[in-house]
Structure 1
Amino acid sequence: MFSSVKYLLVLLLLLLFFTAYNYSLYTNQSDYGTIRLSEKALQGEKHWRENNCNACHQLYGLGGYLGPDLTNVYSFRKNDGNYLKAMFNSGVKAMPRFDFNETEKEELLQFLMEVDQTGNYPNTEATIKPDGWVKVQYKKETYEH
């Protein structure tokens, strides 16, 4: 039977492992999954945030539910930037009217185009491996996590 000192040592050892694991997990400087946007797309993202587009629309399944997920809208519209730019201002029934100028529309379009290039959402080709890891096929690369 363990004495109380042995229980304390086991507890301290577990705490040490937990601390070391969390330190390594949260201080990892890997840029895996980081999306780098062009300056023009960053301006488009700024317009997206300032006009609260995510209140109604989603990117990667995150956001509002009133409008459609726009992760791959550029591909779905067959790369028709003119249609999307028209939608930015006129919208449809429930979408408010915006007064974006041509530069702002180009920046929003660039943002959605670069988001579209990051992969497909939802990714129906993702598979779960027997060890629990998910194998995801993006448009250009395969990641396992």
Structure 2
Amino acid sequence: MKPKKYLFILLLLSTLFLVYNFFIYTDSSAYGNVHLSEKAIRGENLWLKNNCNSCHQIYGLGGYLGPDLTNAYSFRKNDNYLKAMFNSGIKTMPKFDFNESEKEELLQFLKEIDQTGHYPSTNAKIKPNGWVEIQYKNDVHEN
């Protein structure tokens, strides 16, 4: 092929890639918008400031040293246990020195994240074309 054809194909593929990504990353209809309370946002900031995502995951995104905490509140439903875990650490988890309001904020963050869905989804089905069909509460979405 001539160099102009290569350039044309490269530009075409780049344009298609950009258009595809625009639609994928600007479409919020599949998941809806998650709105956190001010208290949960402060908890999220503590989560990020203390680099909790380097060991733990939310929706499967993050580190693999600790467990996924997307639904940690549903599994424990014990505020005092979770607050104690924040400061005392478990196994390889470091000990933190969070004050009571910081523990409440982290707990609120985990409570609100817990309400947004389930991960991993036990209702997920992998379709023959590779797409995953996931049941979110009463809705079905393809990802």
TM-score (norm 1): 0.77
1:95 to 79, 93, 96: 93
The equivalent of 2:17 in structure 1 is: 22
Closer/same/farther in 2, CA of residues 22 and 52 from structure 1, 3 Å limit: same
State the shift of 1:38 in Å.
2.1
| Partner in structure 1 of residue 46 of structure 2 | 47
Q: Which residue of 2 aligns with 1:113?
A: 111
- 2 CA distance for matches of 1:98 and 1:110? 17
CA contact (8 A) 1:117 1:139 kept: no
Q: How many residues align?
A: 139
Q: Which amino acid aligns with 1:91?
A: G
Alignment of 1:30-109 (within 5 A): 30-31=27-28, 32-33=30-31, 34-77=33-76, 79-109=77-107
- Cα deviation for residue 137 of structure 1 reads 0.6
In the superposition, the TM-score normalised over structure 2's length comes to: 0.78
Distance 2:52 2:14 in 1: 40
Equivalent-residue separation in structure 2 for 1:142 and 1:41 (angstroms):
27
Give the SS at the match of 1:137.
strand
Distance 1:8 1:113, change over 3 A: same
Matches of 2:7 and 2:53 in 1, distance apart?
Answer: 45
CA distance in 2, matches of 1:50, 1:104: 12
Radius of gyration: which is bigger? 1
**C-alpha distance in 1 between matches for 2:80 and 2:65:** 23
- Residues 89 and 97 in structure 1, CA contact (< 8 A), matched pair in contact too: yes
The answer on whether the counterparts of 1:128 and 1:135 sit within 8 Å (CA) in structure 2 is: yes
**Partner Cα separation in structure 1 for residue 96 and residue 6 of structure 2:** 62
- For 2:128, what is the secondary structure of its paired residue? coil
1:134–1:144 CA contact under 8 A, matched in 2: yes
Residues 20-41 of structure 1 show CA distances to partners (whole Å, capped at 9, x for unaligned) of 4223223333224453322221
Relative to structure 1, the CA distance from residue 140 to residue 110 in structure 2 (aligned partners, 3 Å threshold; closer, same or farther) is farther
Distance 1:48 1:72 in 2: 15
